């Protein structure tokens, strides 16, 4: 066989080997593709089967929700009016008023009033219902406004946080007493003695107020200059009295504080005791003697 024939045979064999290799590899790849497509078709079949009833169910859900929206929109407009309704929607969902209410085309042209989170009219209506509605009385859980204090705090929290958080630098109430920035001389004092430091310590801070007096003369107190007083003051010094300026008792015997310790309500007051040996009636317990009886006795 000539050399050229041998080379030809070898070339043909190489071509056949290449064909076999690549075609067999292609067959394996196509089988893998077929297997994958089978899995994909199974999955898609499941999707189709499972999603078949979705459309009807969703349509029914949407129909029910539409009915609810229609109901609530109608109720809102009926009770609050179209303008307030649009304002309320705008207050809760800024920008929503531009779309208007679905069943009220005119609402798109309404200029929404500025209604914040708290709708005063609605709050008042609910408060009125809480007090007056028969259901509030018959509710087994108690009145509608069960916790007035808590309810008030809840409502307050809806407003801006300027007051209820009570910042430290919030203006304080006016100061009275010896520590007050404005001091008034005790030019007016009626009755009793001017409390000194020992008495203030003993009685407490409230006694300081008495030390300052009641009405300063420069503000028109009863000891103010005559031109500041009325022509005929209703209460002069003779009626109001004045302090003695001394701690000496006003009477010879003075006040005996031990008298209170010896007081006996069972002997010094109460109703007339029944005769000896008679059982007292319960209805007479605690009732004082009549004024006429006391006057007659004296």
Partner 1 sequence: MTLWWIGDVLLIVVVLPVVVYLLKGVLDAARSIVPSVDRIAAAAQAGSRDLDAVPLLLTTQAQVKQTVEVVAGYGGSLDVIVDDAEEE
Select 79 or 156, whichever has its Cβ closest to partner 1: 79
Q: Cα–chain-centroid distance for residue 27?
A: 78
Distance CA 20, CA 90 (A): 76
Residue 104 dihedral angles phi and psi, to the nearest 5°:
-130, 85
Select 8 or 153, whichever has its Cβ closest to partner 1: 8
Select 113 or 280, whichever has its Cβ closest to partner 1: 113
Select 52 or 292, whichever has its Cβ closest to partner 1: 52
Select 125 or 237, whichever has its Cβ closest to partner 1: 125
C-alpha atoms less than 13 angstroms from C-alpha of 160 in its C-beta half-sphere: 2
Distance CA 87, CA 116 (A): 9
Residue 111 C-beta: closest distance to partner 1, Å: 14
Q: Tokens standing for 62?
A: 């949407």
Please answer whether residues 214 and 176 qualify as being in contact, where contact means their C-beta atoms are separated by less than 8 angstroms: no
Give the DSSP letter of residue 106: G
Long-range own/partner contacts, residues 234-241 (CB < 8 A, 24 or more apart): 240/190, 241/190, 241/191
Select 54 or 182, whichever has its Cβ closest to partner 1: 54
Residue 14 C-beta: closest distance to partner 1, Å: 6
Distance CA 80, CA 29 (A): 71
Residue 269 C-beta: closest distance to partner 1, Å: 58
Residue 159 C-beta: closest distance to partner 1, Å: 24
Residue 117 C-beta: closest distance to partner 1, Å: 20
Residue 97 buriedness (CB in 10 A; 0-12 / 13-18 / 19+): buried
Residue 75 C-beta: closest distance to partner 1, Å: 5
- The CB density around residue 130, as the number of other CB atoms within 10 Å, is 16
Residues near partner 1 (CB under 8 A): 2, 4-5, 7-8, 11-12, 14-15, 18-19, 21-23, 25-26, 29-30, 32-33, 36-44, 46-47, 50-51, 53-54, 57-58, 60-61, 64-65, 67-68, 71-72, 75, 77-81, 83-84, 125, 129, 133, 135
């Amino acid at each position: 066989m000539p050399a050229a024939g041998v080379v030809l045979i070898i070339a043909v064999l190489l071509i056949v080997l290449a064909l076999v290799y690549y075609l067999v590899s292609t067959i394996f790849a196509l089988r893998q593709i077929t297997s994958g497509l089978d899995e994909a078709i199974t999955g898609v079949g499941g999707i189709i089967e499972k999603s078949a009833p979705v459309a009807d169910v969703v349509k029914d859900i949407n129909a029910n929700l539409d009915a609810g929206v229609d109901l609530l929109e109608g109720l809102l407009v009926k009770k609050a009016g179209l303008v307030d309704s649009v304002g309320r929607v705008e207050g809760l969902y800024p920008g929503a008023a531009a779309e208007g209410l679905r069943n009220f085309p005119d609402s798109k042209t309404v200029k929404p009033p500025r209604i914040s989170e708290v709708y005063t009219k609605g709050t008042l209506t609910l408060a009125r219902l809480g007090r007056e509605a028969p259901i509030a009385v018959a509710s087994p859980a108690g009145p509608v406004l069960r916790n007035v204090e808590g309810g008030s705090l809840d409502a307050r929290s809806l407003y801006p946080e300027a007051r209820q958080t009570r910042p430290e630098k919030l203006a304080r109430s006016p100061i009275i007493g010896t520590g007050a920035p404005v001091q008034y001389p005790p030019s007016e004092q009626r009755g009793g003695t001017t409390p000194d430091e020992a008495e203030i310590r003993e009685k407490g801070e409230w006694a300081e107020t008495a030390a300052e007096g009641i009405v300063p003369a420069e503000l028109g107190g009863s000891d103010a200059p005559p031109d500041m007083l009325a022509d005929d003051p209703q209460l002069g010094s003779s009626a109001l009295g004045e302090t003695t300026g001394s701690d000496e008792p006003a009477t010879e015997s003075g006040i005996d504080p031990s008298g209170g310790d010896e007081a006996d309500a069972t002997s010094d007051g109460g109703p007339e005791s029944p005769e000896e040996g008679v059982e007292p009636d319960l209805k007479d317990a605690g009732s004082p003697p009549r004024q006429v009886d006391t006057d007659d006795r004296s």
